[in-house]
Amino acid sequence: MPSLKSSFYSLVALLLLGQAVVAQADLPDFTELVEEAAPAVVNISTRQKIPEQVAGAGELVIPDLEGLPPIFREFFERNFPQVPRTPNGGRQREAQSLGSGFIISADGYVLTNNHVVAGADEIIVRLPDRSELEAKLIGADPRSDVALLKVEGKNLPTVKLGKSEDLKVGEWVLAIGSPFGFDHSVTAGIVSAKGRSLPNESYVPFIQTDVAINPGNSGGPLFNLAGEVVGINSQIFTRSGGFMGLSFAIPMSVALDVA
């Protein structure tokens, strides 16, 4: 016969196991949400031509390769990539940035952050099927950090738009974006606070979350459990340059008013 002590320990083990099963059952399953919403989330890349400054003392000036013997030209091309020249003979370099966005209409309107596309000479939207479309900047608002783009398309996948004012602190939320260029990365967390003001950013009442957001997530959607976009992931607070548990999203009500 089992002793009273061993029976007690068995009962405690069963109770703990039962609590673990209940806790696991209470955790949300994001798979269906991601399957439905991910096709409307896009990667955004930009190109900006920046005239190079005239080289100063001690700076290396790359010679014109035209007319050089092939062996020397090959060496310079391999070790010192040529910089495009402007029409007036100056040199240019291309600055690139990566961000995220999401399609809000079947005919190709896309929401993202202003800072993702600011100053861009060319904006490229990459869809989940790896196809790329050139986007036109319809309008941008630096103060709220919202930008509206347009790509040419029909019957494009779209997100469902929700009401950010209905969010509750402690509610589960999910982000899809392209951190460091890794397309359609999914991260989840909870709403940490609402109506948060940031230093020098008092115009937007940010949604604070603990969802992992990193460079490249900017402009991507923040979803509630109903699969509705309730915010645009915009900023993080960090001392390291990477995620530290403090992420901030522009409420969808603000973004739509601006758009």
CA separation for the pair 160, 37 (Å, rounded): 8
Q: How many CA atoms lie within 13 A of 217 on its CB side?
A: 27
* Residue 143 pLDDT > 50: yes
Per-residue pLDDT for 102 more than 80?
yes
| CA torsion through residues 175, 178, 180, 182, sign | positive
Give how far Cα 161 sits from Cα of 79, 97, 186, 192, 226, Å. Answer: 50, 26, 18, 21, 10
pTM: 0.75
Provide the pLDDT for residue 10: 64
- Indicate whether 207 pLDDT > 60: yes
Provide the annotated active-site residues. 115, 145, 218
Distance from C-alpha of 216 to C-alpha of 62, rounded to nearest angstrom:
32
CB atoms within 10 A of CB 238: 15
Q: What percent of the chain has pLDDT above 90?
A: 59
The band of 15, judged by pLDDT with boundaries at 50, 70 and 90, is low
Report how far residue 236's alpha carbon sits from residue 233's, in angstroms, rounded to the nearest whole number: 9
Range with the poorest average pLDDT among 68-77, 89-98, 181-190, 246-255: 68-77
The better pLDDT of the pair 76, 49 is held by 49
* pLDDT of the residue at 7: 62
pLDDT for the residue numbered 172? 97
User: What's the pLDDT at 96?
Assistant: 75
Q: Is 71 helix (H, G, I), strand (E, B) or coil?
A: helix
> In angstroms, rounded to a whole number, what is the distance separating the alpha carbons of residues 112 and 114?
7
pLDDT tens, 63-79? 444 555 555 444 444 44
Look-up: residue for tokens 């004012």?
165
| Range in 42-51, 124-133, 223-232 with the lowest mean pLDDT | 42-51
What is the residue extent of each domain of the chain? 159-258
pLDDT of the residue at 18: 55
Q: Which of 38-52, 86-100, 109-123 has the lowest mean pLDDT?
A: 86-100
- Distance in angstroms (rounded) separating the CA atoms of residues 231 and 208: 10
Average pLDDT of the chain to the nearest whole number: 82
CATH architecture, range 159-258:
Beta Barrel (2.40)
pLDDT, position 73? 46
How many other C-beta atoms lie within 10 A of the C-beta of residue 80?
12
Closest CA to 44 of 109, 142, 117: 117
Two structure tokens written together for 194: 């609402």
What is the mean predicted confidence (pLDDT) over 215-239?
Answer: 93
Return all residues near 234 (Cβ < 8 A) that are at least 6 apart. Answer: 113, 145, 204, 206, 218, 219, 248, 249, 250
> Taking residues 237-250, what's their average pLDDT?
85
The lowest-confidence range among 36-50, 71-85, 154-168, 198-212 is 71-85
pLDDT tens for each residue of 159-180: 999 999 999 999 999 999 999 9
Q: Report pLDDT digits (tens) over 114-142.
A: 999 999 999 999 998 889 999 999 999 99
Report DSSP state, residue 85.
B
